Structure 1
Amino acid sequence: MIQWTAAILVVMFAAILLAAIREMSALGIGFRRALIFAPLKLIYRIDTSRMKRARDPKPPVIYAVSEQSKLDPAIYQAILPPDTLHVLDPASADSWLVQTFRSLGKSVVFDKDHMISNRRLVRHLKGKGRLAVYFPEDVEPNPVNFRLYRAITLLARKSNAQIVPLHLRNARFLPSSFTPASKAPRRRFPRLSVHVLPAKRIDDLVNEAGKNYVTPSNALFDRMALTRFDTTDFSVGLFRAFVQAAKIYGPSRIILEDTVTGELTYKRLLIGARVLGKRFSAMAAKGEALGVLLPNANGVVVTFLALQSAGRVAAMLNYTAGPRNVVSAIETAKIRTVLSSRVFIEKAELHAVSEAIEASGTRIVWLEDIRKSVTTVEKLLAALQWTKPLVRVDADDPAVVLFTSGSEGAPKGVVLSHRNIHSNAAQAESRFSISVEDTLFNVLPVFHSFGLTGGTILPLLYGVRLFLYPSPLHYKLIPAAAAKVRPTIMFGTDTFLMGYARTAKDTDFESLRFVVAGAEAVKPQTRELYKDRFNCEVLEGFGMTEAAPVVAANTTSHARANTVGRLLPGMSVRIEPVEGIEEGGRLWVRGPNVMLGYMTADRPGELQPLGDGWHDSGDIVTIDREGYMAIRGRAKRFAKIAGEMVSLGAVEMLVQALWPEDRHAAVSVPDRRKGERIILATTAAHPDKKTIIQYGKKNGVAELMLPSDIVRLDEIPVLGSGKTDYVTTQKKIEDKLGIGDRAA
């Protein structure tokens, strides 16, 4: 027994010694530091391959560390250059492990609120020194914690220091994590990896973002968020990303629920996907698109993941678009097989859609038939291999085809890769503070990019329990359902949110922390209503199907009224001037979430990639000094009147302020004298043009912005995504006014 113990100790010491020697070579650190660090390296399998980025920059350097646990400063004191002065927080400095590692270098412990005035730190940096500052891990820092960003920004600019952000992946799950265990499940020995971004000075970060688009402290904040985003492994396909989430948050964790089939754990979800994936593999070749015609329910998530496991592409069909548009989408993506449910077709009364699909020569496979034919052997094999995808995929392979809303014309197929969708979910997670304590209530359909990425994939990848509701149009039923589910997060559009509020009791949405709203502008009345009645913040964001979809968003720590918030990490924009528009310009976007390309009806099944990675959003925007973006309107949603460009969206906002309880839509039609004129469609009971003119004059609105005619409609047509259906609205207006030609 003694001999065995001695042998084990010899092997352990040899392993530690070997690891120490390797770290000496890899990190350029001394033997003593390497020897003390080696046990941690072996226990947590710490990946330090990116540390060259941290060690190479010449001083002065500030290491901006996102401190997630008491282990973080111990590790960094061992692997950062020995001349680094570590500014430790009292909360972690008293740890015995940190105390052990403090002997390896220089460190001080004091209140970080006084960093700006600390002359010692300034002298240290100006003397070609290195400084490690430990930031609170908060994704959305409160005003007190954000002071540290301002302090370090000033310190860096005073000393001309470069900033090197560092983030220890998975440290938030350690037993010594600063994140409460209720928000981050504990794992005793998670695999850790050090993520480092290249060194840059604050002024360089500001210049890269655009001097007029960001403040220095926000530039540092954005850089830290980008480091968090960088910790995600984007090399894997979506199925493997879900498997990783299951391992982190627990295979037996209940993660998904709907109104019909009940609850699913991660493991049951992935087993079901493996079973269906095997069947789908026989229906289409690898990389081929299969149509998905299903509602918000557990079945659509299982089906989606099954297609990802099988290496097939999920083409999400908008069943609210009508038979003609559904068939057009099928032809555009060259879909031979559509996956659907008889029960869904029956309940949603979509017989015309299913008949049109079959009449086009496309086969419909009913999930009920597959479910009945699944054998016990298939289930057992899937249970044994639930962590393995059926087919290996590349992260840049197509994963999804979504179709643009068609709010202004014929829809196009938008091809998104595994990396596009995974990136957008990670971008959102690096901006919004979400955890396993949260429950997300999703009413937005999965054929809509916001409903798919934000409302479905994001929560499932980050351990947030997801409740899927089948239709956003159940204005009376949804508040009651929310009262039972008690969600903390909800996604929606302004139209839907106002509809729910009208029928909701004050207690129905009391559990909500915040609502993320997109697809259309959020009215001030909506924000005020949810704040006053439900004590809930409505955070407006902005996106497009082509960006998978989120581009910018307000958060609880960074929010500004009448804007759609600030850009997500990893995104770049450029604004091009537009003739006739003085304020703002046309927005172009680029980033890891921007699509692979389009499929169009005239070139079916053919991916038309973006030439240089930039996508023309077609939106006219402004961005203020702090990076907050405001949408002035779609380029197509401007009318050219007497040579002046007038935003139809601004016309709608003007009338909405006058008649807040009603719905409005402004369109333009040809005019021989002025080029175009504005027509307002409204649900107001007694709309009066004179009242609008008086209100416009009172608020200093130019006469060109006032509608020349008003058409009353019983309701303004809305797409399944919640956006105004301008194509149908325009047709109704033209029919009522007897106008033969549409506006261009």
Structure 2
Amino acid sequence: MILASSIALGIVAAYLAVAILQIVRLRLGFRQALLYVPLKLVYRIRDRKVRAARAVQTPVIYAITHQSRLDPALMLSLLPEDTLHILDDESARSPWLEPWRALARTIVFKAEHVFVSRRLVRVLKGRGRLAVYLPDTIEPDTKTYRLFRAVARIALRADAKVVPIFVGEARYLPFSRSRATDGRRRLFPRLSVNTLEPITIAELMALSIKQPARASNALFDRLAEARLAAPDPKRSLFLALRDAAFRYGPHHPIVESFEQAESGRMHATLSYRQLFVGARTFGHRFASVTAPGEAVGVLLPNTADMVVSLLALWSGDRVAAMIKPETQSAGITTAIRTALVRTVVSSRSFIANAGLSQAVEAAEKGGAKFVWLEDVRKNITIAEKLVAAALWWWPVHMRQEAATPAAILFTSGREADPKAVVLSHANLLANARQLEARLSIGLDDSLLNLLPVSRTFSLTGGIVLPLLAGARLLLDREALGSQREAAIAAKIRPSIILGNDTSLAAHGRLAENFNLSGLRFAMVGTGTVDDETRRIWRERFGARIVEGFGLTEAAPVVSINTATHNREGTAGRLLPGMRMKLEPVSGIPQAGRLLIQGPNLMLGYMRASQPGVLQALGDGWHDTGDIVDVDREGFLTVMGRAGRIASVGGEIVSLDAVEALACQLWPDGQHAAIAVPDKHKGEQVTLVTTADEPDLLRQFGRLAGASDRLIPHDIITIADLPRLDSGRIDYAAVRQMALQRLGIVAAA
């Protein structure tokens, strides 16, 4: 009896000691601490930001993303006791929540009066606090979005500060409010209470570039930023994807690959565990011929082996240098030397089937040696396989840092030599999570990636995003928009397709005889989408095409249209966590040169003039070189590159749009639109083309209803356009040629 009493007293003393610790740490009330302790111990809650949130001066609104039925108990335990909590009907009536409801004032949510009631404004103006639980929805419908409007209106009227709160991992609790397909339920996930600095709605609205933003949009974006703050920002790509494997289940099928082989069609499906086993096996082999932090070239098609190889490099703290196979030989040699690539991972069958022997020679000329996956696979021992199977979740290189380089992508821009854009683990993860905070994607989705992984959007949106979100990744080695490829898409029934206008237009034409039911949307990675392509997809598939704006330096997505915020003809709204500003451009009063800042912004450049030297961003802002217009709701309209715009008689003409018009008439031709001096109108547009009948363009433009501004003043026909080593058009050489032909060299 004495022993039992002693044990009981010891337990009570320990419980009280932990409660007192929370009182000291977080400034909780005594009753709050008593009820918080079991939650703290069971879910190992990270709560270091709570104390600052409690200390915010009134009036204040705590805007909580309501993910699970545990959220009210947690918030009633942590927020100041004088906070008025507006609960949903279930939380207001649940018997098990009664002890927590007694900690503070609560009222039941009623849509017809809560968010229009003057009482709440009076509560706030009387130096009060509100806790509002908003639905956990990434793309809210019109009815749900009214809640954001109402809360924003109350905060604006009361001039109250808003503190967003997001409980990380709460959506995976057994009593989550989310769909079962959003993630595997776990009994005891480790929770984290994430908050952002207090700010008023008026201050958020004032961040808009031109006119003040809408209050509801400002609040919606702020809560999305709190969602981004939930994951640990110090996790590397390998560790973050490993976390996803544990979250969704090691045996969850995650990668499905289709390949054409001599024996017929090959189909491989990998679970998370199989993916990581392969990565650890390959990772040891790659580590034996490279050093930590070294750039390793990747020249592979869209297959499961490519995903395994990327994960293997990240597991060993190697940097994946993504080589574009279509780049001309001189460009590949320069890229290899610029990034100091000494080893390239590739496949003999891919090189042979794609006819890339010249690319191999160019890489070897730059000083690189090849590691062939066929050889790696053949030489793997049974012992290596057993170790990889037993320790699949362990990285090859134990020290994993988010701020270190993860990938190098090559972009030529308009320069003579390619630039190497260096992206960190944090950059790629941030952009994938920014997309995840804007687009609804989860376990019941399957994403078909039609873009080569050497493109940044394919790497982030087509590899990292689905692996992070648990969506099945579908890869086709020969994703060329062919009849066969369209048939594959109909067979595997993806819910999301990632491609460009060319591949999506091909699907629209070829898939009319196939069933693509279940397709929700397509994401466009490069270029603009033709109106006809958009119409076909809407009418034939009932799916929307998600357009946006991006650049390699931003890993790459900057803005995007969504179901909630969508406006055709624009590049969508800025991703959460990003900031922008416009620098005035002479002659374009309604727009400006776009500068951006955000967690997805690159580490810096490597240039051919200084191989291997990282040139970091100076003040954290990056000049995109694009001229954009931004409306009150934050939608970006990209008018063109700073060097790809002509001012004709005071009117702005996009040279890219002129080229697009020529491509519609002559899709197989080569076209370059440039601006040349004109003494009467300042500038005129000249089209240099390989087409034989230039006069047809003027007739075609009028019949197509194109603006007169898009009809070039002069059209010059040549046999072939000069190109850079990267394969892109050399616009400087084209302009010089046109000036000579037009006899205005002196005016240049």
**Common fold by TM > 0.5:** yes
- Report if aligned partners of 2:458, 2:525 keep a CA contact under 8 Å in 1: no
Structure 2 distance, partners of 1:203, 1:144, is: 24
Q: What is the CA distance between 1:477 and its match in structure 2? A: 2.4
Structure 2 distance, partners of 1:318, 1:669, is: 30
Structure 2 distance, partners of 1:183, 1:596, is: 33
Structure 2 distance, partners of 1:717, 1:117, is: 64
Q: How does 1:624-635 map to 2 (within 5 A)?
A: 624-635=631-642
Q: Could you tell me which residue of structure 2 aligns to residue 157 of structure 1?
A: 156
Q: Which moved more, 1:59-68 or 1:709-718?
A: 709-718
SS at match of 2:482: coil
2:557 aligns with one of 530, 550, 560: 550
Q: 1:712 to 1:13 in 2, by over 3 A?
A: farther
Q: What is the CA distance between 1:120 and its match in structure 2? A: 2.1
SS at match of 2:522: strand
Structure 2 distance, partners of 1:733, 1:7, is: 93
What per-residue deviation string (whole Å, max 9, x for no partner) do you get for residues 14-73 of structure 1? 553332222111221222221122111111111211102210111111110000011101
Q: What is the CA distance between 1:582 and its match in structure 2? A: 3.0
2:345 aligns with one of 317, 339, 363: 339
Q: What is the CA distance between 1:92 and its match in structure 2? A: 3.1
1:297 aligns with one of 293, 297, 303: 303
SS at match of 2:523: strand
1:87 equivalent to 2:58? Answer: no
Q: 1:648 to 1:453 in 2, by over 3 A?
A: same
Q: What is the CA distance between 1:117 and its match in structure 2? A: 2.3
Q: Could you tell me which residue of structure 1 aligns to residue 29 of structure 2?
A: 30
- % of aligned pairs identical? 44
1:379 aligns with one of 362, 373, 385: 385
Q: What is the CA distance between 1:100 and its match in structure 2? A: 3.0
1:706 equivalent to 2:711? Answer: yes
Structure 1: unaligned runs, 5 residues or longer: none
Structure 2: unaligned runs, 5 residues or longer: 260-266
- Report if aligned partners of 1:632, 1:650 keep a CA contact under 8 Å in 2: no
1:590 aligns with one of 593, 597, 613: 597
Structure 1 distance, partners of 2:544, 2:499, is: 13
Amino acid at match of 1:347: N
Q: 1:311 to 1:659 in 2, by over 3 A?
A: same
Q: Could you tell me which residue of structure 2 aligns to residue 217 of structure 1?
A: 216
Structure 2 distance, partners of 1:400, 1:445, is: 15
Q: How does 1:115-264 map to 2 (within 5 A)?
A: 115-210=114-209, 212=211, 214-260=213-259, 262-264=268-270
Q: Which moved more, 1:74-83 or 1:9-18?
A: 9-18
Structure 2 distance, partners of 1:713, 1:426, is: 47
SS at match of 1:688: helix
Structure 1 distance, partners of 2:464, 2:282, is: 19
Q: Could you tell me which residue of structure 1 aligns to residue 262 of structure 2?
A: none
Structure 2 distance, partners of 1:244, 1:460, is: 10
Q: What is the CA distance between 1:155 and its match in structure 2? A: 0.5
Q: How does 1:637-676 map to 2 (within 5 A)?
A: 637-639=644-646, 641=648, 645-652=652-659, 665-668=671-674, 670=676
2:471 aligns with one of 450, 464, 468: 464
- Report if aligned partners of 1:334, 1:605 keep a CA contact under 8 Å in 2: yes
1:524 aligns with one of 531, 550, 571: 531
Q: 1:424 to 1:718 in 2, by over 3 A?
A: farther
Structure 2 distance, partners of 1:262, 1:341, is: 17
Amino acid at match of 2:103: L
- Report if aligned partners of 1:584, 1:620 keep a CA contact under 8 Å in 2: yes
1:485 equivalent to 2:492? Answer: yes
- Report if aligned partners of 1:525, 1:660 keep a CA contact under 8 Å in 2: no
Q: Could you tell me which residue of structure 2 aligns to residue 497 of structure 1?
A: 504
Q: Could you tell me which residue of structure 1 aligns to residue 69 of structure 2?
A: 70
2:685 aligns with one of 677, 698, 705: 677
Q: 1:210 to 1:668 in 2, by over 3 A?
A: closer
Q: What is the CA distance between 1:655 and its match in structure 2? A: 6.6
Q: What is the CA distance between 1:676 and its match in structure 2? A: 5.0
What per-residue deviation string (whole Å, max 9, x for no partner) do you get for residues 324-367 of structure 1? 22112101111111111101111111112112322443211111
1:398 equivalent to 2:397? Answer: no
1:317 equivalent to 2:317? Answer: no
Q: What is the CA distance between 1:663 and its match in structure 2? A: 8.6
Q: What is the CA distance between 1:323 and its match in structure 2? A: 2.0
Structure 1 distance, partners of 2:5, 2:339, is: 66
1:361 equivalent to 2:367? Answer: yes
2:480 aligns with one of 451, 461, 473: 473
- Report if aligned partners of 1:506, 1:534 keep a CA contact under 8 Å in 2: no
Q: What is the CA distance between 1:291 and its match in structure 2? A: 0.6
Amino acid at match of 2:240: A
Q: Which moved more, 1:522-531 or 1:334-343?
A: 522-531
Amino acid at match of 2:50: M
Amino acid at match of 1:519: T
- Report if aligned partners of 1:527, 1:537 keep a CA contact under 8 Å in 2: yes
- Report if aligned partners of 1:551, 1:568 keep a CA contact under 8 Å in 2: yes
Q: What is the CA distance between 1:208 and its match in structure 2? A: 2.7
Q: 1:535 to 1:712 in 2, by over 3 A?
A: farther
Q: 1:683 to 1:627 in 2, by over 3 A?
A: farther
Structure 2 distance, partners of 1:23, 1:425, is: 35
Amino acid at match of 1:438: D
Q: What is the CA distance between 1:711 and its match in structure 2? A: 6.9
Q: What is the CA distance between 1:408 and its match in structure 2? A: 7.0
Amino acid at match of 1:31: F
Q: What is the CA distance between 1:621 and its match in structure 2? A: 0.5
Q: Could you tell me which residue of structure 1 aligns to residue 263 of structure 2?
A: none
Q: Could you tell me which residue of structure 1 aligns to residue 394 of structure 2?
A: 388
- Report if aligned partners of 2:688, 2:734 keep a CA contact under 8 Å in 1: no
Amino acid at match of 2:43: Y
- Report if aligned partners of 2:209, 2:581 keep a CA contact under 8 Å in 1: no
SS at match of 1:299: helix
Structure 2 distance, partners of 1:7, 1:342, is: 72
Q: 1:610 to 1:639 in 2, by over 3 A?
A: same
Q: What is the CA distance between 1:583 and its match in structure 2? A: 2.6
1:278 equivalent to 2:284? Answer: yes
- Report if aligned partners of 1:689, 1:710 keep a CA contact under 8 Å in 2: no
Amino acid at match of 1:332: T
Q: What is the CA distance between 1:514 and its match in structure 2? A: 0.8
Q: Could you tell me which residue of structure 2 aligns to residue 564 of structure 1?
A: 571
Q: 1:614 to 1:275 in 2, by over 3 A?
A: same
Q: What is the CA distance between 1:123 and its match in structure 2? A: 1.8
Structure 2 distance, partners of 1:171, 1:297, is: 34
Structure 1 distance, partners of 2:47, 2:546, is: 38
- Report if aligned partners of 1:678, 1:706 keep a CA contact under 8 Å in 2: no
What TM-score, normalized by structure 1, do the two folds share? 0.92
Q: Which moved more, 1:631-640 or 1:610-619?
A: 631-640
What per-residue deviation string (whole Å, max 9, x for no partner) do you get for residues 191-210 of structure 1? 11110111111111112344
SS at match of 2:595: strand
What per-residue deviation string (whole Å, max 9, x for no partner) do you get for residues 526-558 of structure 1? 222101000001010111000000100001111
SS at match of 1:679: strand
Q: Which moved more, 1:530-539 or 1:579-588?
A: 579-588
- Report if aligned partners of 1:664, 1:681 keep a CA contact under 8 Å in 2: yes
What per-residue deviation string (whole Å, max 9, x for no partner) do you get for residues 269-326 of structure 1? 1121112111222222221101111111111111111111111111010011132221
Structure 1 distance, partners of 2:29, 2:221, is: 34
SS at match of 1:490: strand
Q: 1:142 to 1:5 in 2, by over 3 A?
A: farther
- Report if aligned partners of 1:632, 1:649 keep a CA contact under 8 Å in 2: no
RMSD of aligned alpha carbons: 3.2
1:691 equivalent to 2:725? Answer: no
- Report if aligned partners of 2:656, 2:673 keep a CA contact under 8 Å in 1: no
